[in-house]
Amino acid sequence: MTMFDTRKMNLHSRRIFYFALLVILGAAGELLRIPMIFGLNITFSSIFLLLILLLYNIRTAVAGAAVVAVISYFFGGNSSLVFLLIVEVAAVGLLLRRRRRNLFILDLQYWLFIAAPILFILYFSFNRELNAAITIYVSKSAVNGAFNALIANILLAYIPARKWINEGVYSRSRVPLGQILFQLTMAASMFPFIVFILSGSIFHTSDLDQKALQRSGAIAAYIADELNTWPQQELRALQLESIAEIGKLRDVMVKADNEPMISMGLLDQEQDILVGSQKRLTGAGEDWKLEGIVYRLAENFYIQFPDNNRTPFVVDAWKEAVYIHTSKLPVTPFSLQIRVPMQLYAADLITLYLINYVGILIFVILMSFFSIYTGRYVTGGLRKLAGITSGLPEKLHNHEKVKWPSSGVEEVSLLINNFADMSENVTRMLDESERLYQSLRIQTDKLAVSEAKMQQLAYHDVLTGLPNRLCFTSLLSTLIANHESTASDGLIGVLFMDIDRFKQINDTLGHAVGDMLLKEFGARLEAIQQERRLIHGDMTVCRLGGDEFVILMNGTSRVLMAKVAEEILEAFQRAIFLGEHELYIHTSIGISVYPDDGDSGDEIVKNADAAMYAAKGAGGRRYEFFSASMQARLIERLQLENNLHKALELEEFELFYQPRVCTATGELRGVEALIRWRQPELGIVPPDKFIPLAEETGVIHAIGEWVLRTACRQNRMWQLAGYPELVMAVNFSARQFENPNLLQLFTSILNETGMAANLLEIEITEGFLMQDKQSAAEVLRKLEAMGVRISIDDFGTGYSSLSQLKDLPLHAVKIDRSFIQNIGWDETKSSIVSAVIQLAHGMGLRVVAEGVETSKEYEHLSSINCDELQGYYFSRPLPLFDMEQILRQQQPLLGGSLKEDLV
């Protein structure tokens, strides 16, 4: 069975279920009646039968009405006229076929023009007369039917029955405003009247019962009182059924109530009649409780209705009903039966209810016409407005003439006027927009050109024209997504690189030269890309920012990645000419592979970056593939960074001191304070491992302040202990000079420790000076004004010359160890160092050679008049205790600490 067949079967089952449910409700509405006076009832069966008519079709509704009629006939007592349910459904269904109109009006028309004539004819055929009773019956039935039609209409309008039956999905339908007004008006009109009639029926029925009970009771009491006055011999004669006493009792009955319609009878012990107020008391002596339908209303008080099968009109049966009062006569074995006919009190009530029912019917008819007229009056303008406003934008755009309706309702008229005003404004706006359209077309063409340019700017680097970081990130994400969806065997490679020592070149030669270098670097990578594309295919060069470049390779292998990396390294073996500058640059390359080295683009780029730093750490000018060990080093670096933040607080730093001696005498002239980190888990961490990390994280400011304060305090303590005055040299990095309160820091520490400013020497690198010479000179002059000495550390490694430093307030120059090592055997180094010493002396600067390790180096430096020496030949960096041992000896250090040559 297909899905369509299953759905169709489910729909069919659902329709059968709801049909059965409505039939059951219709039967319940017919059997569970609300009783009224004259034996009339309010029923609700037609509500559900009309719902079947509206939801299904006329044949289904007629079949449902027939089922309800049969059930009512067999279980509802006197229900001979239930065939009118079938006629009602069929007639209303035919009327609906001809014209879809208000169900209430159609049902009312049925009762007035079809059901009413049928009922009058039937009544006349049974009774040979027409009277008020049949008019009441017809009026009640018409009001009941119209009310049920109104309820059915309301239920269908506000309950999604069609969706339940046909689709099983809840959906609220839209109800016209006129229908809502009509339903509200009719419900508000009919419901109070029906409640009034029901309450009146209950009251009048009870009132009739009380009147009959009181009258019959009074008759019985009168007769009993009369019998109490009789002498015993008359009572005995009466018991013997004496004709004289029986006649006398008849006279008492007549005197008790002379209403001819009321009959009284004296019954013996066998319930045979002895005497009656009338010549014949029909049925009094028989078992009257088995005749017709008898209801007990009170003690010894009953009401008897004739057999229902005699007439289909319950009004007739109600009119012929009789109240029966039975009582035991005192001092006799006889019983008294009093019969009070309902007709005795019915005349006035029939007139009253005739007026009520006919009045209600007339009122309902008038109110229906009034509601229809009012609904059309109120909603007519709205309907016309809805019709006119359908497709209004197209009409206004085509400049069609719109004829706005009028309405006598103020709010509707105001709404129409508002729509008219808005339409005029919209028309003007459309005309203006049409004029702007041509202008916008021109602007659109210009915007398209601008958008293309913006696209270029958004995804390409301005300087080199290469794809930028945004473009690279998007492309890498796309490649990874495609790789996952296609399950490709090829790899995605990321080659991450930057220019070795680019910052020094940029700071030394200027940003203009640096920009030209970046363009040339990108151009050479592009040349490799173009050449490799002929062999490899998908390969993209991007600039991420600064001097960072990346090559993205798709569908490749590790072998091909390595070949490309080798070609890149080879491409930069050749010199680069930038104007008058000839540069030899190198790069370090880190390679990360997807999916081997990560699951996401961010992870792949991060690992390629780590691999590049590993290549730099291995000496640079090489490439490295990412490995797990690099990840371990990254974790170690993170752990080192976390520990570094706590080192000061935990007092893990310590200062070592390396002596500086006079070349001529070997006397101690000063010391250089060198920081050491004793980490409990890692041991002694060398400065070259944690100082760059401290500069990167900003912790260098706190560490530098601690070093400066500790060195100054220790130097002052040595002076107070009587040791010779020494110059305390402290290294300062470029990051420390970023502190805006640097001068205040020096002043505060010098004042706090009491050390003379001329005994403090700040060692700075020449690379820092070349970054911003003017700003550096300003800070250094202020330090010099305070008395602080300034020296250049690692001179010769920063692409500068003494002539470039002549305007700076310097006191000494420290020649880097790379120039001192093997100086006695290397004539080139000897010439360079000799020239530097002569130029420095010519500028009034002292010269310090660092890294002296052999006697040969010492003797050569002495021969070319170097002022001071520092290195392992004299002493290693010493902890505080060992340094104080040397101070206490107060002897020259000529080879004192390291006798053997360290060649």
3-state SS, one letter per residue, for 449-468: HHHHHHHHHHHECCCCCCEC
Tell me the chain's radius of gyration from C-alpha atoms: 60
Side-chain half-sphere exposure of 785, counting CA atoms within 13 A: 7
**DSSP 8-state class, residue 204:** H
Is residue 239 over pLDDT 80?
no
Provide the pLDDT for residue 1: 46
Domain span including residue 343: 216-347
Cross-strand pairs, 265: 276, 337
Q: What is the pLDDT of residues 161-180, one digit of tens each?
A: 777 776 544 445 676 766 67
Give residue 890's identity as a one-letter amino acid code.
Q
> Average pLDDT of 497-512?
80
Q: What is the pLDDT of residues 417-476, one digit of tens each?
A: 777 777 777 777 777 777 777 777 777 777 777 676 777 677 888 888 899 998 899 899
Strands 263-267 and 273-276: antiparallel
In a shared domain, residues 605 and 647: no
Dump the DSSP string for 57-98.
-HHHHHHHHHHHHHHHHHHSSS-GGGHHHHHHHHHHHHHHHH
Which of 548, 464, 542, 465 has its CA nearest to residue 503? 548
pLDDT band at 713 (very low <50, low <70, confident <90, very high): very high
**DSSP 8-state class, residue 790:** E
C-alpha to C-alpha distance for 492 and 302, rounded to whole angstroms: 105
Q: pTM for this one?
A: 0.43
682 SS3 class: coil
In a shared domain, residues 220 and 246: yes
Provide the pLDDT for residue 204: 74
Categorise residue 53: left if φ over 0, alpha if ψ from -120 to 50, beta otherwise: alpha
In a shared domain, residues 94 and 160: yes
> Average pLDDT of 249-268?
81
Q: Is 484 in contact with 531 (CB distance < 8 Å)?
A: no
Cross-strand pairs, 568: none
Least confidently predicted of 209-213, 271-275, 621-625, 854-858: 271-275
In a shared domain, residues 621 and 651: no
In a shared domain, residues 401 and 270: no
42 SS3 class: strand
CB-CB neighbours of 572 under 10 Å:
20
Let me know if residue 181 belongs to a domain: no
pLDDT band at 658 (very low <50, low <70, confident <90, very high): very high
Provide the pLDDT for residue 280: 43
Highest mean pLDDT (candidates 7-16, 244-253, 467-476, 679-688): 467-476
pLDDT band at 759 (very low <50, low <70, confident <90, very high): very high
Least confidently predicted of 259-273, 358-372, 670-684, 806-820: 358-372
In a shared domain, residues 737 and 677: yes
In a shared domain, residues 733 and 669: yes
Q: Count the helices and strands in the chain (H runs, E runs).
A: 30, 24
> Average pLDDT of 794-807?
64
> Average pLDDT of 310-330?
75
Categorise residue 102: left if φ over 0, alpha if ψ from -120 to 50, beta otherwise: beta
Vertex 469: Cα angle to 698 and 572 (nearest 5): 85
Provide the pLDDT for residue 155: 83
Is residue 348 over pLDDT 70?
no
Let me know if residue 381 belongs to a domain: no
Burial of 245 by CB count in 10 Å (0-12 exposed, 13-18 middle, 19+ buried)?
Answer: buried
Query: For residues 625 and 690, which has the higher predicted lDDT (pLDDT)?
Result: 625
Which of 774, 783, 698 has its CA nearest to residue 733? 698
C-alpha to C-alpha distance for 781 and 578, rounded to whole angstroms: 35
Q: What is the pLDDT of residues 599-635, one digit of tens each?
A: 888 989 989 988 888 888 777 788 999 887 777 776 7
Highest mean pLDDT (candidates 57-61, 697-701, 799-803): 57-61
Name the domain count of the chain. Answer: 5
Provide the pLDDT for residue 104: 79
In a shared domain, residues 703 and 838: yes
263 SS3 class: strand
In a shared domain, residues 434 and 310: no
Query: For residues 325 and 532, which has the higher predicted lDDT (pLDDT)?
Result: 325
Provide the pLDDT for residue 7: 53
Vertex 208: Cα angle to 206 and 210 (nearest 5): 70
Provide the pLDDT for residue 867: 93
Query: For residues 534 and 414, which has the higher predicted lDDT (pLDDT)?
Result: 414
C-alpha to C-alpha distance for 774 and 778, rounded to whole angstroms: 6
Provide the pLDDT for residue 172: 53
Which of 72, 25, 31 has its CA nearest to residue 50? 25
Work out the percent of the chain whose per-residue pLDDT is above 90: 15
> Average pLDDT of 73-90?
73
Let me know if residue 879 belongs to a domain: yes
Which H/E stretch holds residue 655?
Answer: strand 653-662
pLDDT band at 775 (very low <50, low <70, confident <90, very high): low
Provide the pLDDT for residue 481: 87
C-alpha to C-alpha distance for 313 and 461, rounded to whole angstroms: 101
Which of 667, 669, 679, 674 has its CA nearest to residue 707? 674
Is residue 656 over pLDDT 90?
yes
pLDDT band at 555 (very low <50, low <70, confident <90, very high): confident
Side-chain half-sphere exposure of 129, counting CA atoms within 13 A: 4
Q: What is the pLDDT of residues 354-401, one digit of tens each?
A: 677 777 777 777 777 777 777 666 666 666 766 677 776 777 667 777
> Average pLDDT of 840-851?
90
Provide the pLDDT for residue 95: 84
Neighbour order of strands in the sheet with 322-328: 273-276, 263-267, 335-341, 322-328, 301-305, 293-298
Highest mean pLDDT (candidates 393-402, 481-490, 754-763, 891-900): 754-763
C-alpha to C-alpha distance for 792 and 763, rounded to whole angstroms: 6
Strands 581-583 and 587-594: unpaired
In a shared domain, residues 768 and 662: yes
Highest mean pLDDT (candidates 302-316, 354-368, 384-398, 638-652): 638-652
- Give long-range contacts, CB 8 A cutoff, 24+ apart: 361-369: 361/139, 361/142, 361/143, 363/189, 363/193, 364/108, 364/143, 364/146, 364/186, 364/189, 364/190, 365/108, 365/112, 367/185, 367/186, 367/189, 367/190, 368/104, 368/105, 368/108, 368/182, 368/186
In a shared domain, residues 559 and 697: no
What is the domain-level CATH number for residue 706?
Answer: 3.20.20.450
> Average pLDDT of 731-750?
86
Let me know if residue 464 belongs to a domain: no
pLDDT band at 757 (very low <50, low <70, confident <90, very high): very high
Token digits of residue 657: 């001191």
Token digits of residue 120: 């009058």
Q: Is 866 in contact with 845 (CB distance < 8 Å)?
A: no
Let me know if residue 209 belongs to a domain: no
Q: Is 565 in contact with 588 (CB distance < 8 Å)?
A: no
Token digits of residue 357: 């029912």
Q: Is 315 in contact with 136 (CB distance < 8 Å)?
A: yes
CB-CB neighbours of 490 under 10 Å:
15
Strands 335-341 and 263-267: antiparallel
C-alpha to C-alpha distance for 860 and 109, rounded to whole angstroms: 135
Vertex 752: Cα angle to 751 and 756 (nearest 5): 45
Categorise residue 223: left if φ over 0, alpha if ψ from -120 to 50, beta otherwise: alpha
> Average pLDDT of 268-281?
66
Provide the pLDDT for residue 551: 92
Let me know if residue 362 belongs to a domain: no
C-alpha to C-alpha distance for 276 and 268, rounded to whole angstroms: 12
Chosen domain end from 154, 175, 196 = 175
Torsion angle, alpha carbons of 14, 20, 26, 27, to 10: -160
Chosen domain end from 158, 175, 192 = 175
Let me know if residue 825 belongs to a domain: yes
User: CB-based contacts of 653: which residues, under 8 Å, 6+ apart?
Assistant: 647, 675, 676, 677, 678, 703, 706, 707
Let me know if residue 852 belongs to a domain: yes
Strands 760-765 and 668-679: unpaired
Is residue 488 over pLDDT 80?
no
Q: What is the pLDDT of residues 139-151, one digit of tens each?
A: 778 788 888 888 8
> Average pLDDT of 740-754?
90
Phi, psi for 674 (deg, rounded to 5): -120, 125
In a shared domain, residues 622 and 646: no
Q: Is 841 in contact with 819 (CB distance < 8 Å)?
A: no
pLDDT band at 115 (very low <50, low <70, confident <90, very high): confident
Torsion angle, alpha carbons of 679, 684, 687, 691, to 10: -10
Provide the pLDDT for residue 433: 75
Average model confidence (pLDDT) for the chain? 80
Chosen domain end from 148, 175, 202 = 175
Is residue 2 over pLDDT 50?
no
Provide the pLDDT for residue 901: 36
C-alpha to C-alpha distance for 628 and 144, rounded to whole angstroms: 91
Q: Is 715 in contact with 755 (CB distance < 8 Å)?
A: yes
Q: What is the pLDDT of residues 26-71, one digit of tens each?
A: 888 878 877 776 667 778 888 888 888 888 888 888 888 888 888 8
Look-up of token digits 């961490």: 685
Dump the DSSP string for 155-173.
HHHHS-HHHHHHT----PP
Phi, psi for 538 (deg, rounded to 5): -85, 110
Work out the percent of the chain whose per-residue pLDDT is above 70: 83
Which of 115, 58, 314, 303 has its CA nearest to residue 205? 303
